[in-house]
Amino acid sequence: MKVSIVTIVSIVLIVSIVWLSCILLAYADEYKTLGIRHLDNPTVCIFEPDTLYTDDGEDIILAAYTSISLWQKGLFEHSPDGDWRFLAVTIPLEDHKNKQASQFPACTILISFEYTNNSSVSLGYTYIDFSNSYHKYAHITLFTHDLQITHHYNDNGNGGEQVYDNSTFEIKPFSMVAIQNIITHEFGHALGLGHYMITDYPIYTDDKPWIEASVMYYALNALDDEIAEPRYVDIKMAEKLYKADGFGGSTAPPLKMAYYTAGDIEICTHKC
């Protein structure tokens, strides 16, 4: 069987490209966007927590305002030519109880609070609805309490074999630092940022690389007592999404973006 020189060269070229890609991505940080972008300066509505499940409503609201200010501070510091202003308002409990996010068309980022998450281990989540032209919004939901489940076992007289006995449930409030950090992380999603991924974890420090690398690091640690702030890489990804002129600018790039920063020195934070 004869194999042409062109075929051999093509195979070598393909193998070389794959090999080079593996080398690049082996040391790459990965950062993606969610495919959404606010067309104007966001109006952030902070919904007062229900007094039935927390006595710390004022502190929780303050944590939300602090998270917003951290994003605004970072945006103006690292992207000073942009319009990064947020309008933030508090919605009293009596004005929003038993109402849906869609009933607040003036709000483009909504932050609300629930007692505890009974369905998953998520500390909070962001729901995005950009389907209606008259009201595009991102809805952040935070849980104020952690549901801790402990499973108990005994040997049940079976020669040491562990047999399930029962489970106990304990509900503990998250610290204000944890609540603020969760809001700060979810606020990045509300702006359109995805998760920051590290391909060769751990880096920076062994116990909390998410603090050192990016506030959008995917594995948020609610037990950490250090304040999480948007990092340079977070601001530069927001700048890539909105461009340097900020919200409502005229130079917005395509919505669908994914960056492997091995080739992007500007926003790379590790092993570029």
Which residues on adjacent β-strands are paired with residue 99?
none
38 neighbors 247 (Cβ within 8 angstroms): yes
SS3 content of the chain, % helix, strand, coil (to 5): 30, 25, 45
Put the strands of the sheet holding 258-260 in their side by side order.
193-198, 29-33, 258-260
For 235-249, the pLDDT digits (tens) are 988 988 888 899 987
User: CB neighbours (10 Å) of residue 129?
Assistant: 13
- Look up the pTM and report it: 0.78
DSSP state of 13: H
Q: Is 235 exposed, middle or buried (0-12, 13-18, 19+ CB in 10 A)?
A: buried
**Domains of the chain, with CATH numbers?**
29-263 (3.40.390.10)
Please check the confidence at residue 266 and state whether its pLDDT lies above 70.
no
157 vs 230, higher pLDDT: 230
Residue type, 26: A
- Cross-strand pairs, 110: 45, 139
- Per-residue pLDDT tens over the stretch 210-229: 446 788 987 777 777 889 99
CA 113 to chain centre: 16
Q: Which residues pair with 148 in a beta bridge?
A: 170
Instruction: Give the whole-angstrom CA distance, residue 103 versus residue 84.
Output: 26
Site of tokens 């062109």: 6
In the predicted structure, residue 162 carries a pLDDT above the cut 80: no
Decide if 109 contacts 42 (C-beta within 8 A). yes
pLDDT tens track for 63-95 = 999 999 999 999 999 889 999 999 999 999 999
Task: Select from 77, 96, 73, 102 the least CA-distant residue to 86.
Answer: 73
